[in-house]
A and B are shown apart, each in its own frame.
Chain A
Amino acid sequence: MNETAPRQRTVITADSKPAMPPYIKMRHDAGRNRWIILAPERLFDPDPIAVEVLKLCDGARTVGAITDQLAIDYNAPREDIEADIIAMLQDLADKGVVKA
């Protein structure tokens, strides 16, 4: 109904190159000893796995490459973690926390 290009849902795949836009801020909250993600009138509370994934989301690495890295770092079977990472990033993309 409007003339501008319709905005579309970002679909996360193994080839996506996810990143958090500059106005999404992940930082360590020293007072509460946890990582937090600050977003417009929202807080996100990432667990340690999410923090490790998001630290690798630099807009250059693909989800596949991130999976490779974490499979090595954590000595975990790659196929087990890829679906988990994609599901997590898709959820964050739907909430505007991650772009790809």
Chain B
Amino acid sequence: MNESAPANVKHVKESTVTMDAGEMRCDASSSPEPDASCVVRAPIGLLAELTHRCPLQCPYCSNPLDLEKVNVELNTEQWQSVMRQAAQLGILQIHLSGGEPTARRDLEEIVKTAAENGLYTNLITAAVLLKRERLEALKAAGLDHVQISIQDVDTAAENADRIGGYKGGSAKKKEVAGWVRELGMPLTINAPIHRHNVHNVEAIIDYAVELGAGRVEIAHVQYYAWALKNRASLMPTREAFMAAARIVERKREELKGVLVIDSVVPDYYAKFPKPCMGGWAKSIINVTPSGRVLPCHAAESITHLQFDNVKDRPLADIWLNGSAFNMYRGTSWMKEPCRTCPRREIDYGGCRCQAFALTGDAANTDPACSLSPLHDEWAKVADVESHVSSPAFVYRRPGGASPKPAVEKTPQPSDA
């Protein structure tokens, strides 16, 4: 015990799963030639998109516009192999996501294998398909934590169900949240925030407390994939965002020790770009329903990258040697102004997918950064779009992103 330490000395450092990584063991790799310098660290978390099927149709879904179909999904044994390989690679947490992961009948078997291999299992669910017996079975299989998404508070159920495109969803989610707590499992409420619910942030936080959550994510929508498609419908005004940010600060104090409030800021209104995935290929692996292994869930939007599949190559080999992982790992790929920027190992030049989408070169500075030559033009988009009337949602559904051929760029007048 350090006697000279001040009383507020921190004995326990905290990190989200995207922020930290330990040293990689060379022998964890099954590749024939592991990197002798061993500079690559073991990933901390694995996002398993078990399926792209989902009963909800949220217009901000982070899945790609081209949703993978059920007939290409990995089978049970293949997912179980991913879990075993993840544990060997040093991964600590598994995020079982989708689409809607409970749409898979074999979820219990996948959870069981993950738990048996010492992985901490988080279920990221819309909850509407869950029955109480299934939740009990998942708990018995070793599920550690349940995160339920909501679209708005229960007293605004009609709005919530409109956003998710699923009638009765709000009430069903409330019921499932109650079962999670009755079974003694920890509950997180994830609330994607945008123009259609940003006015309700305080009520959403209070609702999370009422539901018994230990944690709430006030997750301002990130504008990729479906959300980018729907940006003009979803972007809140700067004023509305700032008001919500002040509420989050106040509620954090008020609810200290009762509810942990995590907040994700929309980068259109942030001072600096966000460190994409805590750094490309630094701590997170994403596996798609068909087994493609990505450094981030949006990486397929960078069209020149080539992705390996867990059906063809061991996970550790892909992590260490896969071309998509090594392309933007670390800082050596950077150009100016990133290359000499003092923040280059803080934000890693922002998001590669956004840089690619807006500049055509994923190695350019993310326009979210004020040092990008495109920054001013980019930031103005949010201001303009947030002040015009909201176009109808393009709902997330197979084929929904391009309902009519040959219509580009113009906002769709309806979601049909």
Contact = CB atoms under 8 A, between A and B. Distances in A.
Contacts of B12: 37, 44-47, 50, 88, 91-92, 97
Given A32-B42, A84-B1, A87-B8, A41 B260 contact: no
Contacts of A8: 257-258
Q: Which of B184, B214, B256 has the most CB of A within 10 A?
A: B214
B92 A80 contact: no
B145 interface: yes
Given A25-B120, A77-B3, A94-B257, A32 B9 contact: no
B260 A80 contact: no
Given A8-B258, A31-B22, A70-B1, 15 more contacts: A4-B210, A9-B258, A31-B28, A40-B188, A40-B214, A41-B16, A41-B93, A42-B16, A43-B14, A43-B92, A43-B93, A50-B12, A80-B3, A84-B7, A87-B9
Interface of A: 1-2, 4, 7-11, 21-23, 25, 27, 29, 31-32, 34, 36-47, 49-50, 53, 70, 74, 76-77, 80-81, 83-84, 87-88, 91-97
Nearest to A96: B214
Interface in B309-367: none
B44 to A, nearest CB: 7
B1 A42 contact: no
A41 B3 contact: no
A1 B254 CA distance: 14
A80 to B, nearest CB: 5
7 smallest beta-carbon distances between A and B, as pairs: A9-B257, A32-B22, A50-B11, A40-B145, A38-B120, A45-B13, A2-B210
**Chain A interface, >50% SS class:** mixed
B125 to A, nearest CB: 13
A41 B122 contact: yes
A29 B22 contact: yes
Interface residues of B, number: 46
A7 B8 CA distance: 26
Contact of B93 (A34, A38, A97): A38
B258 A1 contact: no
B95 interface: yes
A75 to B, nearest CB: 10
